[in-house]
Amino acid sequence: MTEPEVFDPELLSQVAALPPLPGVYRYYDAEGQVLYVGKANHLKKRVSSYFQKSHGGTRIGHMVGKIARLETTVVRSEAEALLLENNLIKTLKPRYNILFRDDKSYPYLKITRAQPGAPDALGHPHPKAAPRVVYYRGAVDKHHDYFGPYPSVWAVREAIQLIQKVFRLRTCEDTVFRNRHRPCLLHQIKRCSAPCVGMVSLEDYQRDVQSACELLQGHTQDVMQSLEKRMLAHAERLEFEQAAEVRNQISALSKVLHQQAVDTVDDRDVDILAVVVQGGKACVNLAMVRGGRHLGDSPYFPTHAEGAEPVEVLEAFLGQHYVEVPLPPTLITNHAVDKELVAALSAQTGVKLHVIHQPREQRKVWLEMAQQNAALKLARLLAEEGSQQSRTRALVDALDMAVEDLDSLRIECFDISHTAGEATQASCVVFHHHKMQASEYRRYNIEGITGGDDYAAMRQVLTRRYSKLAEAVRLGEAKFPDLVLIDGGKGQISMAREVFVALDLDVSRLVGVEKGEGRKVGLEELVFADERPKLSLQADSAALMLVAQIRDEAHRFAITGMRAKRAKVRTGGSSLEDIPGVGPKKRAKLLQRFGGVRGVADASVQDLCTVEGISPELAQAIYAALR
């Protein structure tokens, strides 16, 4: 097949006129939709390769056949091209790019740095003078020490427990520290040295903080030697109690290190990446080693990976993941990656990157572990998706629905929740593409009804949800759900039917989930709005399992929303929301830091300033508003 027969001559002339410079290219189809975003160190050579050879029936071949327009952006280096490509991929989400979810906020372990502060009237130290260890997620700064990133919250918690066992560093908030008059339970179980009430000198406590930092950095032997010297020094001065304390630290540290079979290696900071492709799906398993300790792993499942080769998936992950996440000096991969990509990552991050794809000894063990975990997690995903698809098919068959494409089946489910009529909320959850779509969930505050009137609440939420959608459907601008589930029996279905009739909607799509005898799970019956007889399914029916899954998710979503609303009403949370400059993110950080609105109200201006994003002026405004 010749080029003029396949591609527009004007497009080929654009390709021929491209410069031999680094840049980013974008392909569009005839409708103006972006197909693909790529980068190149040599634009002309890279883009020309798409049009100079046949790609057959591959994923790239399908994409090339749809190209109608080309756009390019020239940059100064491939490092800049990598950054621009990553930003465009995340913004445009092209159909033929392998896309990974955005993980900008990895968890860290944070140890605050000691700051001067006057002791209180009882001689107890100021909270700022005694550093604390804490779980942290967000942007790092130069004012404190951060260790990580960690692959999961669990890994951070485990590291904090290690620090508590060996060095007994505090984890309490400054407000708690300031108000202690006797040691807390953590001191009693030997997890904190209680600097808040002077049970340890600030000098000794700071020495433990320094040892903890060295341990987290991987200087294990240095820490052990330092502790042994301290123990011997105490013994020579006949300070046997202090020597015993240090001996206990050495014992605890030795026990922990003995349990960590993959510790005490030369590599300090390493990421291990294994990719497995099967059944049109892909999994990249990322394992992290920080400070010489294996911290666990985390799986990533990209979209648009159908027909992609493993190395394509791996390179897409590298390009998208490490542009915004700290890059360790060593990567261990199960496939060789493009050297130009490695150079671009090094130039972009300022880290001299070393990539190994045929490791030996301990590195080989790490990679084998990562590959095994990737295969297991991908197999689990495929099994779950296969199970969900069979449930979808079973429900369609049970309800005798005319659905041509199972993947397009959309189900919306509604539930009402309140406590004795207080803080009534309705929830709407969505099932689409064989899974729950959390991003499409909606909550509705129900107002203007008699407390506890679930029928009126259901009337209100259905009217609000479908009045505008019904008009859009009639104009051909939207698609109505294939099935609308209502958590309720005849009464709720009758109310829902009235709404559907008033809006001229198809009542055959309206189904109620009525609890069976004794309200036992597995005995539910389906009630139809079009006067079909009730349908009772077997307890082990795949269709009933799917209905129960969707109904339970609607109930969970409604309950959590109702409880949050009720708690806000009872604790005066609205007063925090009303403060200018305090949006949802800052409000969440304040509540997390101080444990609730009351904790925020009790905090001083200085304490409020320690929260990320809270300026002294805003802290003063919060302090004044809550008093």
Short-list 517, 514, 506, CA closest to 547: 514
Q: Which residue has the tokens 């913004």?
A: 91
Q: Which residues of 85-105 are buried (b: 16+ CB within 10 A; e: fewer)?
A: bbebbbeeebbbbbbbeeeee
How do strand 107-111 and strand 133-137 relate by DSSP bridges? antiparallel
Whether residue 458 contacts residue 495, with contact meaning beta carbons closer than 8 Å, is answered with yes
On the question of a common fold for 271-381 and 406-567, the answer reads yes
Sheet with 133-137, side-by-side order of all strands: 133-137, 107-111, 145-147
In terms of CATH, what superfamily is 572-625? 5' to 3' exonuclease, C-terminal subdomain (1.10.150.20)
CATH superfamily of 271-381: UvrC, RNAse H endonuclease domain (3.30.420.340)
Give me the residues of the chain with pLDDT under 50, please.
1-5, 258-264, 569-574
Please give the CATH superfamily to which domain 3-92 belongs: GIY-YIG endonuclease (3.40.1440.10)
Of 360, 366, 363, the residue nearest 287 (C-alpha): 366
Pairing between β-strand 442-445 and β-strand 69-74 as defined by DSSP bridges? unpaired
In angstroms, the CA 194 to CA 197 distance is: 6
* Whether 594 contacts 619, CB under 8 Å: no
Strands 330-333 and 354-356, how do they pair?
Answer: parallel
Strand, coil or helix: 351: coil
Pairing of strands 270-278, 330-333: parallel
- Contact predicate 517/523, CB 8 Å: yes
Q: What is the dihedral of CA 207, 212, 215, 216, to 10 degrees?
A: -140
Cα–Cα distance for residue pair 624/340, rounded to 1 Å: 56
Residue 125 and residue 200 in contact, taking contact as beta carbons nearer than 8 Å: no
* Global pTM exceeds 0.75: no
Task: Compute the distance between CA of residue 492 and CA of residue 505 in angstroms, rounded to an integer.
Answer: 17
CB of 200 closer than 8 Å to CB of 194 = yes
Give CA separation, 181 vs 130, 199, 299, 438, 601, in Å: 16, 11, 46, 46, 21
Name the CATH superfamily for 406-567: UvrC, RNAse H endonuclease domain (3.30.420.340)
List the alpha helices (DSSP H) in 237-273.
240-259
Which burial class, exposed, middle or buried, applies to 500 when counting CB atoms under 10 A from its CB (0-12, 13-18, 19+)?
Answer: buried
What one-letter code names the amino acid at 428?
C
Q: What are phi and psi of 561, to 5 degrees?
A: -65, -40
Q: What is the spatial distance between Cα 83 and Cα 319, in angstroms, rounded to a whole number?
A: 8
**Domain spans of the chain, in order of start:** 3-92, 110-259, 271-381, 406-567, 572-625
pLDDT of residue 37: 93
For 252, counting Cβ atoms within 10 Å of its Cβ (0-12 exposed, 13-18 middle, 19+ buried), the class is middle
